[in-house]
Amino acid sequence: MFRGLFISLLMCSMTLVVSVRADDLERELNLLYQKQIEAEKSLHGDKKPQETTTVQVNVIPVQASQTVAPQAPEVKEATVYQIPASQVEATPLNASRADQLRKARQDIEIQTEQAIVEQLEAQRLEWERKRAEALLKTMQEQSAALNAPKVETPAIVLAPAPIAPVQDETTKKEISELKENINSLSTELKENKKDAEKSEYYMSLGAGMPEYVDNIINLRVDYSLGLALGFRSPTNAVFEVSLFQSVYRLENIVGGGGGFGSPFASIGEVNQYNLSASAKYTFFSGRIRPLVGVIASLTRRDYTDLQCFGFSCQGDAQTNAFDLGTLIGGEVMMSETFGIGVEYQYFRNISNRQDSNFQSSFAFNSGTNYLEDKDYSIFSVRGRISF
């Protein structure tokens, strides 16, 4: 009986020893692989390895067989311990090309950051040193001012120092040009202001060419001359009185009928005088002055027969008319007192009257169909003098 019990106890102790050894073996293996993993991580950093190998170690405990002594009535079962499986991952010993480049890039970034930080700290240190020196100097000055005895000194008035002349020739030239520009601009502004504010009187002489709108084949134009006096207000309104003389020639065929000889041409002269009053408006006050206006004219025409002799003399005649018209033109001021301009006047007859000799004059039989009721124009070039 004691023998069987001893054998049972021996078997149980062997089972416990085997189990404890299995636990120790698993613990040592786990510790070994854990140290290897930590070494790999410290070598390559906390990077995920490209290749992993899983080694699973299963330690199966040894279960002792049940031995029942023939003398023992009861035998207790041995305790079985189930150990969980452990996984051990291995990392490659050699890093890949990408890992090497990444590592090099990270090292350069760290060096760059360190250099920037060093520069910033150096500048901050220099600034702090200067600020400390300035603060210390200010404190010393304040302390010296507080400790110094007060001495009253009379006020000293210093005369302004003379300005040193500019020695640079380029600067002198630029200053001179600037002064000239300012003076010219000031002069121009004064002239414009003066022209805008003052009134002026003027006299003009003109020469031009008169023309009748209807084509009169036996009428020849010689010339037109005139004189005008005017007044220009500050508002650019112009009032003018003028006298123009226009000279024409009329040709008329007379004689040659009833046995009185062959026909011949009778030439007569027409002197036309326009005593006009006009109101004009100039758009500008500068050098160029376009203008428009209206005009009224008392027109006198003197008809003279230049070949008045014997029975063929048809005598002289006069007519008077009242004409209204419009005008347009412009002038260019060459100086403050002299200008040159052009003007185009267009007249339309309102009423006319002739003397008793007109129907017996050559003009009545010249075939012109009566000049007095026809539209005409005078284009003239004028020279103007202001005073």
Between CA 19 and CA 8 the distance in angstroms is: 17
- Top mean pLDDT of 42-51, 158-167, 267-276, 323-332 is at 323-332
Lowest-confidence pick of 128-142, 211-225, 233-247, 250-264: 250-264
pLDDT of residue 66: 44
Q: Average per-residue pLDDT in the chain? A: 77
Q: How far is CA 57 from CA 16, 23, 29, 85, 123, in A?
A: 21, 12, 9, 6, 61
The neighbouring-strand residues paired with 221 are 248
pLDDT tens digits, one per residue of 332-345: 999 989 999 999 99
In this predicted structure, the answer to whether residue 46 has a pLDDT above a threshold of 80 is no
pLDDT of residue 268: 81
Number of alpha carbons in the 13 Å side-chain half-sphere of residue 317: 22
Query: What amino acid occupies position 72?
Result: A
pLDDT tens digits, one per residue of 1-34: 556 666 667 676 666 655 656 677 677 777 777 7
Between CA 176 and CA 166 the distance in angstroms is: 12
User: Could you write out the three-class secondary structure of the chain?
Assistant: CHHHHHHHHHHHHHHHHHHHHHHHHHHHHHHHHHHHHHHHHHHHCCCCCCCCEEEEECCCCCCCCCCCCCCCCCCCCCCCCCCCCEEEEECCCCCCHHHHHHHHHHHHHHHHHHHHHHHHHHHHHHHHHHHHHHHHHHHHHHHHHHHCCCCCCCCCCCCCCCCCCCCCHHHHHHHHHHHHHHHHHHHHHHHHHHHHHCCEEEEEEEEEEEEECCCCCCEEEEEEEEEEEEEECCCCEEEEEEEEEEEEEEEEEECCCCCCCCCEEEEEEEEEEEEEEEEEEECCCCCEEEEEEEEEEEEEEEEEECCCCHHHCCCCEEEEEEEEEEEEEEEEECCCCEEEEEEEEEEEEEEEEECCCHHHCCCCCCCCCCHHHCCEEEEEEEEEEEC
Predicted confidence band at 291 (pLDDT cuts at 50, 70, 90)? very high
Predicted confidence band at 354 (pLDDT cuts at 50, 70, 90)? confident
Give residues with Cβ within 8 angstroms of 238, minimum separation 6: 230, 231, 232, 279, 280, 281, 282, 291, 293
In this predicted structure, the answer to whether residue 251 has a pLDDT above a threshold of 80 is no
In this predicted structure, the answer to whether residue 311 has a pLDDT above a threshold of 90 is no
Average pLDDT over residues 284-308: 89
pLDDT of residue 322: 96
- Higher-confidence residue: 384 or 150? 384
Average pLDDT over residues 115-120: 91
Predicted confidence band at 98 (pLDDT cuts at 50, 70, 90)? confident
- Higher-confidence residue: 372 or 339? 339
pLDDT of residue 262: 46
Average pLDDT over residues 170-176: 76
Between CA 198 and CA 235 the distance in angstroms is: 9
Predicted confidence band at 192 (pLDDT cuts at 50, 70, 90)? low
Average pLDDT over residues 51-56: 46
pLDDT of residue 349: 94
In this predicted structure, the answer to whether residue 154 has a pLDDT above a threshold of 70 is no
Q: How far is CA 230 from CA 9, 133, 227, 238, 344, in A?
A: 156, 85, 10, 7, 17
Average pLDDT over residues 289-300: 96
Between CA 167 and CA 51 the distance in angstroms is: 84
pLDDT of residue 208: 92
Between CA 330 and CA 332 the distance in angstroms is: 7
The Cβ of residue 285 has, within 10 Å, a number of other Cβ atoms equal to 18
pLDDT of residue 162: 55
pLDDT of residue 76: 56
pLDDT of residue 385: 94
Between CA 374 and CA 348 the distance in angstroms is: 7
Between CA 38 and CA 28 the distance in angstroms is: 15
- Top mean pLDDT of 75-79, 151-155, 251-255 is at 251-255
Average pLDDT over residues 306-319: 67
pTM of the model: 0.48
Cα of 96 vs its chain's centroid, Å: 61
